[in-house]
């Protein structure tokens, strides 16, 4: 999760850990990029507005420089359609507004895992 608000970090981390998810936290886009150098993440919850590097710039770099791509969900207080479109235009896969609705995120996670599991299925060769 890329989020600069400490309260949101703590609340979200606690909720996800209680549900059995592993979660790492970055305070800004630069930290996200650094973390991606050492580990692959299936999903990144990306705040749009963070200090040092925002979520838009971080997503652009991730999309240009990583061979294996994570599923990136914008999680932001910005709710205008142009904000949503900006996130999608730079390569984010989904867009959600704060406050975070855990049930909505879990549904998105299920969809991501369904997509990933289908991408690993091999076609059956006819006899």
Structural domains of the chain, ranges and CATH numbers in brackets: 6-119 (3.40.50.2300)
pLDDT averaged per 10 residues in sequence order, the chain, 127 residues: 96 90 95 96 95 98 91 92 95 92 84 62 40
Given this model, what pLDDT does residue 27 score? 98
Given this model, what pLDDT does residue 120 score? 43
pTM: 0.84
Helix (H) or strand (E) segment spanning residue 108 = helix 102-119
Angle at 22 between CA 17 and CA 24, to 5 degrees: 105
Helix (H) or strand (E) segment spanning residue 96 = strand 94-97
- Find, among 30, 18, 12, 23, the residue nearest to 101 by Cα: 12
């Amino acid at each position: 999760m890329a989020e600069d608000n400490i309260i949101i970090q703590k609340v979200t981390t606690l909720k996800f850990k209680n549900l059995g998810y592993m979660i790492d936290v970055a305070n800004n886009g630069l930290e996200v990029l650094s973390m991606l150098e050492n580990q692959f993440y299936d999903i990144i919850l990306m705040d749009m507005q963070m200090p040092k590097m925002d979520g838009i710039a971080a997503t652009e770099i991730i999309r240009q420089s990583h061979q294996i791509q994570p599923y990136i969900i914008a999680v932001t207080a910005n709710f205008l359609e142009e904000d949503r479109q900006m996130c999608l235009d730079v390569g984010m896969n989904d867009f959600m507004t704060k406050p975070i609705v855990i049930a909505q995120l879990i549904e998105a996670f299920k969809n991501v895992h369904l997509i990933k599991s289908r991408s690993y299925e091999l076609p059956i060769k006819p006899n």
